[in-house]
Structure 1
């Protein structure tokens, strides 16, 4: 594999998280990165390294999304219980906050860091995400 091909595939695996999440919201970010990485990991150490980085970051992003959903469900449930108690007294409290706004912020963070990683990979520079669980080694 030429150096240019390595840089291209390194770029593709980082952008795979964004494209995959658009195609299949639930786990597309992980699936597409995993497919791209598995196709070329044996042909280049650079692609293997960047693929591991990308897959670990996408797993981290997905786990954070699950955490947001769980916490949002718990707090929304508690909020509803509190409102039931207030409603029994004739009062009601409404909140404009939605935990699901955090999913949008998480998606923007994914896009920003994936693009930064893709640009670095295209330059031939090995990129390490600033926060990522190192599950795939």
Structure 2
């Protein structure tokens, strides 16, 4: 006996996939210390922004936070290059890296549980 199966249909991204992409957008912040934490959020936002749902909104939130941290890291790097106060810049870089790590993990956990997350301080650069 042969059975005919209907051809596989492509489903739109479900709630689980949407939540996974939103979580990954926040987890990209782990790479902020290396000045590339904004890349995953940007890619996810660009790919998903026309589809709607939670992923593009959370990717935008993560992107704004990571761009804010990128600005802080660049300023800290400039301060680090100054001879008299270089240690302050180095401490700022380490501090920004730790803040990014902790807040990105908190955001990823919150979004993965189905909620949303807003970072405590962020410049709204991408709308």
Do they superpose with TM above 0.5? yes
Structure with greater helix share of residues: 1
Number of residue pairs matched by the alignment: 115
Tell me the TM-score normalised to structure 1 length: 0.74
1:47-62, aligned counterparts within 5 Å? 47-62=55-70
Task: Give the structure 2 partner of residue 3 of structure 1.
Answer: 15
Q: Do 1:17 and 1:114's aligned partners in 2 also have CA atoms closer than 8 Å? A: yes
Q: Do 2:29 and 2:38's aligned partners in 1 also have CA atoms closer than 8 Å? A: yes
Q: Following TM superposition, where does structure 1 have runs of at least 4 consecutive aligned residues deviating by more than 6 angstroms?
A: none
Residue segments in structure 2 that go unaligned for 5+ positions in a row: 1-12
Tell me the TM-score normalised to structure 2 length: 0.79
Bigger radius of gyration:
1
- Tell which has more relative contact order, 1 or 2 (C-alpha 8 A, sep 6+): 1
Task: Give the structure 2 partner of residue 82 of structure 1.
Answer: none
Q: In 1, Cα distance between the equivalents of 2:79 and 2:86?
A: 17
Q: In 1, Cα distance between the equivalents of 2:86 and 2:107?
A: 35
